[in-house]
Amino acid sequence: MKNESPLRELTLGQILDQTAARFPDNDAVVYVDRDFRLTYRQFNSLVDEVARGLMALGIQKGEKVAVWATNIPFWVALQFATAKIGAVLLTVNTNYKTAELEYLLIQSETENLFLIDGFQDTDYVNTIYELVPELKTQQRGSLSSKKFPHLKRVAFLGQEKHRGMYSIPEIKALGVMTTDEEYLARQKELSPHDVVNMQYTSGTTGFPKGVMLTHYNIGNNGFFIGANQNFSEHDRVCLPVPLFHCFGCVLGVLAAVNHGTCMVILEGFDPLMVMSSVEQEKCTALYGVPTMFIAILDNPMFSKFDFSSLRTGIMAGSNCPIHVMEQVIEKMNMTDITICYGLTEASPVMTYTRIGDELRLRVETVGRALPHIEVKVIDIATKETVPPGVQGEVCCRGYNIMKGYYNNPEATKEAVDADGWLHSGDLGVMDEQGNLAITGRHKDMIIRGGENIYPREIEEFLYRMDEIKDIQVAAVPSKKYGEEVGAFIVLKEDANIDESDVKDFCRGKIARFKIPRYVHFVDSYPMTASGKIQKFKLSELSEQIWPDRR
């Protein structure tokens, strides 16, 4: 059975080569909005062309290639082109501004940067000229930057020419300078255990750290993610999630390529484009965070589209309210939708619901450990494994654990213990069958006058209020108790409730110390670009909303 297959010693390039050989004429990459369509044979040829061009530029094995771009077609090509020549793809958050890019380029010691013109209100080209003024005066390929001593090359992911930068047509044209012998010799040097991907953690807490992942880590994780959705060459997965995050480039791209599945990619999330792509391409799977599914279901055009081709997909990133899950299954035909949980440091998926699991498991838990992965829940103080039903920190061990954080051995040692267990920092409870429920982050826990309060418990309770569309509970600093409970609520359209209604709903049903002392109605939440809600920002916001808190 596919789901119980042995681990495979393959590089990402070998995985693509095998799939292209098996399904050469199947669609590989499709963009509905620009009539872009490549078969696996064509996609693999494009990857080889770009890879040879990168070698001709002088990119060596082990060099980092940072990609600062939305989900454009060349993003996926670069993911495999870098892998085929032993370079390390460094994914850059599209929401980064000048200071964040500067931090990443310095901390990662990046040699190569590929970028698009910009995203939203950020002009990427001007940003890099501001950071690296030498680009405008120095010869291409001979860059010498005072601030970024490792940076050698900058390339523009488009047709236009920018001073000091290579363009994609030029790089493809340069490919003829790399011989077959040189290209094959480079690939023979590679090991599945080489680092192939670096992703900077979302930064829900503290400074981002560069997570080093190998072909073996993410290639195998992608295989089992696809197997768990019963992916085959007949499936078509719609991907509106960012490729710079594991959700896009591992759960999406590598799950698909491992099984010959077609990728229908969107450059960014737009509910109408998602619905249009699903209908036109008869997608069988759709990925998204709960807020994306809510936006699709709430779209006034929803009833005009045909979702009958859908079967499965992944909802991840944050908890899914039960009414949303029910609508996704009933109205979007996603009877086999799955929920997974993990961390970038775990490549990323460690637990996963299975097709056929009852609705309760898909809403209340994040499933069971994937094959070849161990998951346990430990007591934070004693580090001992706790029995089923008892809350503790979630830990994971297996083929999927990162090589470490780049240039940060102290943080690596703190995250992965001497026995190889990755400590997630998340709190969870496991049942007798091994199903894991995430109850919050260790750091999200609210300590009110010595009482430990877990936000997830209060969130689940308040979802029962008909007027509430979404809710996040976070700590509000308190002079008297240290911390108090704050509820940040998104209301359904036309709902009309106030703070006292929320508190009245809680009285007599949950312990008095758990009732939100503070209630604030919001339109949305501060999020990372990958869809994770930044609770620490809600806590910071609370200090502005309630400056006179006791």
pLDDT > 70 fraction of the chain, expressed in percent and rounded: 96
CA distance 138 to 250: 37
CA distance 225 to 261: 12
* Mean predicted confidence (pLDDT) in 202-230: 87
Sequence-separated (6 or more) residues with CB below 8 Å from residue 276: 32, 305
- What Cα–Cα distance (Å) separates residue 280 from each residue in 29, 43, 307, 332? 14, 21, 10, 15
Domain 446-545 in CATH 3.40.710.10: no
**Position 544 confidence tier, pLDDT thresholds 50, 70, 90:** confident
- Residue 550 has what pLDDT? 62
DSSP assignment of 207-273, as one string? Answer: S--EEEEEHHHHHHHHHHHHHHTT--TT-EEEE-S-TTSHIIIIIIIIHHHHHT-EEEE-SS--HHH
CA distance 382 to 269: 44
Sequence-separated (6 or more) residues with CB below 8 Å from residue 289: 241, 247, 315, 316, 317, 318, 530, 531
Lowest model confidence (mean pLDDT) among 235-239, 474-478, 516-520? 474-478
CA distance 196 to 320: 32
CA distance 89 to 215: 11
Radius of gyration of the chain (CA): 24
- Residue 97 has what pLDDT? 85
Better-predicted residue by pLDDT, 141 or 13: 13
* Mean predicted confidence (pLDDT) in 249-259: 98
SS3 for 542? helix
The CATH number of domain 210-441, selected from 3.40.1390.10, 3.30.565.10, 3.40.50.12780, 3.30.450.20: 3.40.50.12780
CA distance 249 to 319: 21
DSSP 387: P
pLDDT digits (tens, 9 = 90+) for 135-173: 999 999 889 999 999 999 999 998 899 999 999 999 999
Which H helix or E strand runs over 198?
Answer: strand 195-200
SS3 for 395? strand
Domain boundaries, the chain: 19-190, 210-441, 446-545
- Average pLDDT over the chain reads 92
Judge whether 210-441 and 446-545 match in fold: no
* Mean predicted confidence (pLDDT) in 459-482: 87
Q: Show the 3-state SS of 397-462.
A: EECCCCCEECCCHHHHHHHECCCCCEEEEEEEEECCCCCEEEEEECCCCEEECCEEECHHHHHHHH
Assess whether pLDDT exceeds 50 at residue 232. yes
**Position 453 confidence tier, pLDDT thresholds 50, 70, 90:** confident
Of 413, 427, 406, 518, give the one whose Cα is nearest residue 473: 518
Task: Name the amino acid, one letter, at 106.
Answer: I
Sequence-separated (6 or more) residues with CB below 8 Å from residue 470: 291, 294, 321, 489, 490, 525
Angle between the N-to-C axes of helices 215-228 and 12-22, in degrees from 0 to 180, rounded to the nearest 10 = 40
Angle between the N-to-C axes of helices 12-22 and 40-57, in degrees from 0 to 180, rounded to the nearest 10 = 150
Better-predicted residue by pLDDT, 450 or 18: 18
pLDDT digits (tens, 9 = 90+) for 378-422: 998 899 999 999 999 999 999 999 999 999 999 999 999 999 999
Q: Would strands 518-521 and 482-491 be described as parallel, antiparallel, or unpaired?
A: parallel
**Position 1 confidence tier, pLDDT thresholds 50, 70, 90:** very low
Half-sphere exposure for 31 (CA within 13 Å, toward CB): 14
- Residue 3 has what pLDDT? 63
The domain at 19-190 falls in which architecture?
3-Layer(aba) Sandwich (3.40)
* Mean predicted confidence (pLDDT) in 181-197: 98
- Residue 203 has what pLDDT? 46
Task: Name the amino acid, one letter, at 411.
Answer: A
**Position 439 confidence tier, pLDDT thresholds 50, 70, 90:** confident
Q: Between the CA atoms of 299, 305, 308 and 311, what dihedral angle is there, to the nearest 10 degrees?
A: -40
Q: What is the pTM of this model?
A: 0.85
